[in-house]
Structure 1
Amino acid sequence: MAISDMRRQYAKGSLQDKDLTANPFSLFDRWLKDAISAEIPDPTAMTVATVDATGQPSQRIVLLKDVSEAGFVFFTNLGSRKAQELGQNPKVSCHFPWFFMERQVRVCGVVEKLSFKENATYFLSRPKDSQLAAYASEQSKPISSRELLHTQFAQMKQKFANKTLPAPDFWGGFRIVPHQIEFWQGGEDRLHDRFEYNRDENGSWNTQRLMP
């Protein structure tokens, strides 16, 4: 079968005006809980898109680690490509691809860095091997082989065998503070349900239905 001939109906649900909440975070919380309950793979995975100094966008998948009305939080090496690009341009978009439920959520906003205290609290809650991996890998930098990466990890493991790792200053979190959030629910005959929340200058959220 040709790729162009691959298609199916979307019929797992709908999204109507009556389903909307006063602010998008309440609806997002409901959808996230649905995704977790459905046991879909990596329900907290989100694609984060950034733009470099030349205007070239890039995307990668990270894990959502906190969400509140303040925004969506993820963590990374501060020397990584995404962190460097966000340092130059704080505008960001992220996307939750809950395809198994025929749902998507798209977020647009700007990032703010978390405090060292917030970073340390989360870093020290991670499994020790995850902490060691953060020390062993200079994220986004070239490396000659996977064997070298394993060697660096083993060296870190030996160095901190009986020690608590300090929270590093080269690693931390970003909070995406959104001004726009869209909820997409697949519909039959490609008549999908799309609702967009937009935050006005007073901080209130307004909604509108979008054509599919």
Structure 2
Amino acid sequence: MRFLLVEDNGELAEAVVKRLALDGHAVDHAACLAEAKEFLAGASYDLILLDVMLPDGDGRAFLAQSRAHLETPVIVLTARAQVSDRVGALDQGADDYITKPFDFSELEARCRAVLRRRGGSARNEIAMGDALFDPMSGSLRLGEDCVTLRNRETRLLEIFARHPGQTLSKGQLLDRLFSFDAEVTENAIEVYVGRLRRRIGPMGLRIETVRGLGYRLETAAG
């Protein structure tokens, strides 16, 4: 999944980016609202992590102004712990709120929870035909059989899982899997799709090539 982190504390931002990257997520870092707007104009994101006090404005005001056209889920990051601050952020359009300093495991859990809610699920596991996919552990189970995917394979399957029945172009997959500073081409998508195909085939899933358009995930049931 691709995240946008809007945070002016360079040390904290670097730590968050590295931690999320360990799970295979692509993260773009904006140090101010102006940079955030540039990133949002050029890419689609699955989740935004938004600081409140930024050099060029208040993140909450930016969120309130953007909600008319911005549907991406947002978790607000701030040192303000007052109830009124939390309520205000939620009323202005935040999907969740976490106070600094925070534990990275809690941040990861909140990211998963927000993405689950946006996907209409209360559980980590996603049903894919007769198989069950857990994006947190990277496991795909079919009966007693189980395969554990690598990080990038996990994120790629998660993209397909959250866009059921849709044909996704190489460009869309590239956009979701890699940040702006990653030096990759669409050929990389072909490599990862090929690897994922081999791993999920025995689990009743296949990735179909739609000529000229991209790829679509198919299950044994559909």
TM-score normalised by length of structure 2: 0.25
* Larger RCO, structure (CA 8 Å, separation 6 or more): 1
TM-score normalised by length of structure 1: 0.26
